[in-house]
């Protein structure tokens, strides 16, 4: 048996043993290992930008600890690496595929063999040039190089100069301790140079006026610090400005800048912006479009037939068959004869035509031969029918189980660029019993859905209005769905219909309005045990769950805004914001509600709002800091005075507070029922979901690369759900009502760690959630981090009969599996 003292000894000893493997045995005679670099610079200078300029770097450490795991991995792989083995294998592969290619006359097989051969050759070449998997995943020991210190100094000075610090000085201090070296850089710089005067040298008066009138958009401004990056941005801006105003053959090479610091006084810069003229023509020419020609079936051959040409809104459309609505195509095309050439309108036309999901590619080029300026658009059509099949394993909030899904898409079904989508799904997974402890049952879920997507708003707008709206990528989606759920406790069906409009005003922002969203929900075959549990909850004031199993008619209108700036990118800072407002029962104002109630159906009136913001900050090329804040509120009113069960908020699970089981955290400090056997099960029974009307949760997660395709993470989650009115539980006297002055004391807090397996086509996440603060416990016993247990919980039984108590109850960790990042 391991004692407490032994545990602490092991916790201290393991890091010591791991830090002993510092890789110094891999150094040659006279070499030293670089273990640390630092930089000190005046306020206002970007320290992170300087650190990115290091010419050499220390070896990466595991989660900031002095554990150089990648060094060990590299040299472990080097011990077993045999380069000649891969060379011989490459020769065999090449001979094998060359023989197969020579032995067939089928071009299809030849192409297949060549593709497979190249794929295997690339893989073997990687092993030959870069070593085996472990060598590629690991790192060679970082050997200190004084020459690279000088390279870093030069990089620093060049960067400081580009940022306006023309007078700068960089010194270094190298500290050696045995075979280890650390380097510190000190940057000294005087005040930066400021732009004092801006001149223009532009002989073309039209170009001069265009640039001068756009001065408020310029990146180069008086009294701003000199930054070389701004000059590059200004060159790009001027290039786009002229190309958007008809200057088709303008090039950024025509833009030049001259800098003068000699005659401007103390740290002042004069800037000359010059636009050179073309050598041959001697002036910059504006181009107007003479004609627009659209080929809707580029790449398609039809021997014996010629394309027919139709004209709509002065655009010539050519194709073998009259498949596409010219009215819809014209809404996504922003080029027309007599208009000046515009690069932005060209790109926007290309993007919006691609958004129709009708073409594989859309190319737009311009023909200047023959004294004409002709816009040629070539669109290659996608297949009208598209099948997809998927067989896999559910990794949701329950236990893993198999699923199969199939979908069919028919494009351009009514020749108005509408798409019909049909899909079906059947899955089985394990779910915790709702009436018994420690039992897992099979849950079957099947669904069928049909959707018709129109590439415009189905609304009585005039044609001119529809054309103006085309740049917002408008879509109307009519969908009908049916879901069937079969569990041992009940059988539940849901039939839904929705009419949703979506549009974008820029690439980062999307709007959605579900004008009609109707669901018909029915529950049958409710088991006796489950009915009894619903009755118990109802008698205690927790009537939400009970009412959710009555036959219901749910109608609502939903408006949402989604703002996504590079979210999911691992190369730059990114942010995702989603806000949604929903009003329930709105459509019932247009009809007699007696029609609903006469059928034995309940209907709901409610207001619901949610706000979710997620952000990822790139710390370096190996680590990111991700954080999230998610909140929501739902309020019911009317005679029913309840929410549909699907509209409640829940906390806990792999995408929420990971130290609690899915949907089991809450309500406030109101404790769940006591477990039937605390010695085996822990303090509380988490078999029942805990629906709330107010949600607040947040997460902070540090993600870092470990080795190869495996990443690691450590995280902290906090959150809970509350109700507007106080509810009761058979055991416990805690608070479920949200109170502004004390809600923060009822936040459930969890921490933990996890692994992410990046298989390129999917990311599999495995997280271990550990409770740190449990608001359901007594106020003096809520800190539970010291009670963690990775396997079965346990307690010490004290007393007998009515005096039985359980002391030192341990909290089990929660293991979460998911597809994709938690947020």
How does pLDDT run across 764-810, given as a tens digit for each residue? Answer: 899 999 999 999 888 888 998 888 887 766 666 666 766 666 666 77
This prediction has a pTM of 0.82
More confident residue, 394 or 91: 91
Per the structure block, which two tokens stand in for 362?
Answer: 């859309």
Cβ contacts of residue 84 below 8 Å, gap of 6+? Answer: none
- Rounded to whole angstroms, the Cα distance separating 647 from 166 reads 61
| Mean pLDDT to the nearest integer, 401-420 | 93
Domain boundaries, the chain: 82-130, 194-275, 291-381, 649-823
> Which pLDDT band, with edges at 50, 70 and 90, does 3 fall under?
very low
Which two structure tokens, joined as six digits, stand for 477? 């989606």
Residues 242-281: tens digit of each pLDDT:
999 999 999 999 999 999 887 656 889 999 999 999 988 8
> ω into residue 482 within 30 of 0, thus cis?
no
Smallest CA-to-CA distance from 739 within 774, 778, 694 is with: 694
**Which CATH code is given to the segment(s) 194-275?**
3.10.20
| Report for 16-25, 272-281, 434-443: range of highest mean pLDDT | 272-281
Domain 291-381 of CATH type 3.30.499.10: no
Residues 628 and 576 sit within 8 Å (Cβ to Cβ) = no
d(CA 159, CA 227): 10
Identify the pLDDT of residue 82: 92
Cβ(626)–Cβ(614) under 8 Å?
A: yes
Q: What is the mean pLDDT of the chain?
A: 87
Rounded average pLDDT over 553-565: 93
Cα 637 from chain centre: 36
pLDDT (0 to 100) of residue 436: 56
C-alpha span between 752 and 769 (Å, rounded): 5
Quote the CA–CA distance of 795 and 772 in Å, as a whole number: 18
The answer to whether 544 and 606 are in contact (CB under 8 A) is no
pLDDT value at 568 more than 90: no
Query: Please, what is the angle between helix 83-102 and helix 107-130, to 10°?
Result: 170
- Answer whether 312's CB lies under 8 Å from 330's CB: yes
Please give the radius of gyration of the chain, using alpha carbons only, rounded to the nearest integer.
34
Q: Is the pLDDT of residue 440 over 80?
A: no
Q: Identify the weakest region by mean pLDDT among 12-16, 33-37, 227-231, 640-644.
A: 12-16
pLDDT at 147: 93
- Other CB atoms closer than 10 Å to residue 795's CB: what's the count? 20
How far apart, in whole angstroms, are the C-alpha atoms of residue 216 and residue 496? 51
d(CA 817, CA 765): 6
- CA 454, 458, 462, 466 torsion-angle sign: negative
In 678-786, the DSSP E strands lie at 694-707, 710-722, 748-758, 763-773
Residue 641 — left, alpha, or beta (φ > 0 → left; ψ -120 to 50 → alpha)?
left
Assess whether the region 194-275 and the region 291-381 belong to the same CATH fold. Answer: yes
Other C-beta atoms within 10 Å of 465: how many? Answer: 12
């Amino acid at each position: 048996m391991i004692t407490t003292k032994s545990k602490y000894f092991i916790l201290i000893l393991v890091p010591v043993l791991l830090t002993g493997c510092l890789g110094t045995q891999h150094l040659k005679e006279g070499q030293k290992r670089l273990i640390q670099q630092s930089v000190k610079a005046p306020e206002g200078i970007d320290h992170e930008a300087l650190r990115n300029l290091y010419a050499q770097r220390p070896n990466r450490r595991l989660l900031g600890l002095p554990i150089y795991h990648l060094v060990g991995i590299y040299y472990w792989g080097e011990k077993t690496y045999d380069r000649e083995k891969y060379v011989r294998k490459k020769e065999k592969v090449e001979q094998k595929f060359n023989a197969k290619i020579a032995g067939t006359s089928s071009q299809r097989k030849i192409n297949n063999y060549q593709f497979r051969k190249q794929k295997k050759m690339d893989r073997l070449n990687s092993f030959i040039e870069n070593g085996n998997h472990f060598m590629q995943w690991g790192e060679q020991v970082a050997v200190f190089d004084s020459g690279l210190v000088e390279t870093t100094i030069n990089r620093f000075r060049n960067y400081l100069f580009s940022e306006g610090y023309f007078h700068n000085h960089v010194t270094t201090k190298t500290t050696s301790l045995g075979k280890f070296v650390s380097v510190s850089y000190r940057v000294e710089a005087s005040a930066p140079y400021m732009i004092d005067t801006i001149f223009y040298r532009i002989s073309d008066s039209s170009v001069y006026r265009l640039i001068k009138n756009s001065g408020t958009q310029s990146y180069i401004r008086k009294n701003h610090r000199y930054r070389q990056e701004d000059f590059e941005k200004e060159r790009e801006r001027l290039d786009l400005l002229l190309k958007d105003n008809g200057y088709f053959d303008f090039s950024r090479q025509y833009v030049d800048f001259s800098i003068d610091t000699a005659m401007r006084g103390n740290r002042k810069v004069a800037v000359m912006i010059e636009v050179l003229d073309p050598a041959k023509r001697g002036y910059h020419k504006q181009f107007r479009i003479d004609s627009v020609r659209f080929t809707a079936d580029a790449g398609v051959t039809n021997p014996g037939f010629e394309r027919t040409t139709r004209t709509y809104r002065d655009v010539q459309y050519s194709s073998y068959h009259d498949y596409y609505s010219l009215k819809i195509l014209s809404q996504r095309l922003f080029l027309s004869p007599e208009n000046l050439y515009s690069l932005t309108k060209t790109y926007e036309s290309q993007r919006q035509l691609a958004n129709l999901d009708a073409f594989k590619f859309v190319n737009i080029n311009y023909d200047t031969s023959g004294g004409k300026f002709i816009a040629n658009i070539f669109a290659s059509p996608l297949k009208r029918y598209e099948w997809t099949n998927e067989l896999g394993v559910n990794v949701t909030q329950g236990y893993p189980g198999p699923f199969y899904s199939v979908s069919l898409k028919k494009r351009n079904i009514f020749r108005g660029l509408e798409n019909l989508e049909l899909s079906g799904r059947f899955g089985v997974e394990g779910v915790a019993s709702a009436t018994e402890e420690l039992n897992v049952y099979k849950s079957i879920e099947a669904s069928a859905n049909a959707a018709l997507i129109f590439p415009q708003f189905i609304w009585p707008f005039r044609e001119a209005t529809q054309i103006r709206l085309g740049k917002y990528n408008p879509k109307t989606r009519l969908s009908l769905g049916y879901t069937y759920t079969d569990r041992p406790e009940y059988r539940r069906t849901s039939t839904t219909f929705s009419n949703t409009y979506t549009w974008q005003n820029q690439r980062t922002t999307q709007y959605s309005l579900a004008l009609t969203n109707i669901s018909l929900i029915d529950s049958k075959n409710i088991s006796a045990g489950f009915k009894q549990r619903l009755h118990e909850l109802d008698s205690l004031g927790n009537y939400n769950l009970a009412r959710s199993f009555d036959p219901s008619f749910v109608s609502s209108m939903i408006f949402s805004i989604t703002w996504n700036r590079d979210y999911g990118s691992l190369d730059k800072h990114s942010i995702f914001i989603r806000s949604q407002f929903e009003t329930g029962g709105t459509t019932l104002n247009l009809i007699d509600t007696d029609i609903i109630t006469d059928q034995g159906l309940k209907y709901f009136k409610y207001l619901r709002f949610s706000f979710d913001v997620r952000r990822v900050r790139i710390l370096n090329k190996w680590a990111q800091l991700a954080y999230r804040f998610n909140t929501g509120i739902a309020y019911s009113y009317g005679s029913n005075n309840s929410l549909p069960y699907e509209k409640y908020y829940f906390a806990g699970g792999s995408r929420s507070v990971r130290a609690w089981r899915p949907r089991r955290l809450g309500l406030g400090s109101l404790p769940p029922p006591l477990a039937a056997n605390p010695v085996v099960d822990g303090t509380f029974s988490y078999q029942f979901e805990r629906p709330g009307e107010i949600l607040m949760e947040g997460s902070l997660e540090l993600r870092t690369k470990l080795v190869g395709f495996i990443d690691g993470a450590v995280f902290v989650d906090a959150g809970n759900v509350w109700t507007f009115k106080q509810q009761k539980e058979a055991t416990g006297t805690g608070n479920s009502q949200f109170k502004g002055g004390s809600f923060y004391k009822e936040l459930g807090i969890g921490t933990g760690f996890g692994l992410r397996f990046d298989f390129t086509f999917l990311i599999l996440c495995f997280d271990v959630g550990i409770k740190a603060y449990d608001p359901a416990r007594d106020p003096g016993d809520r800190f539970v981090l010291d009670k963690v247990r990775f396997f079965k919980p346990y307690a010490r039984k004290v007393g007998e009969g009515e005096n039985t108590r359980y002391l030192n109850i341990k909290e089990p960790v929660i293991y979460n599996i998911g597809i994709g990042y938690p947020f």
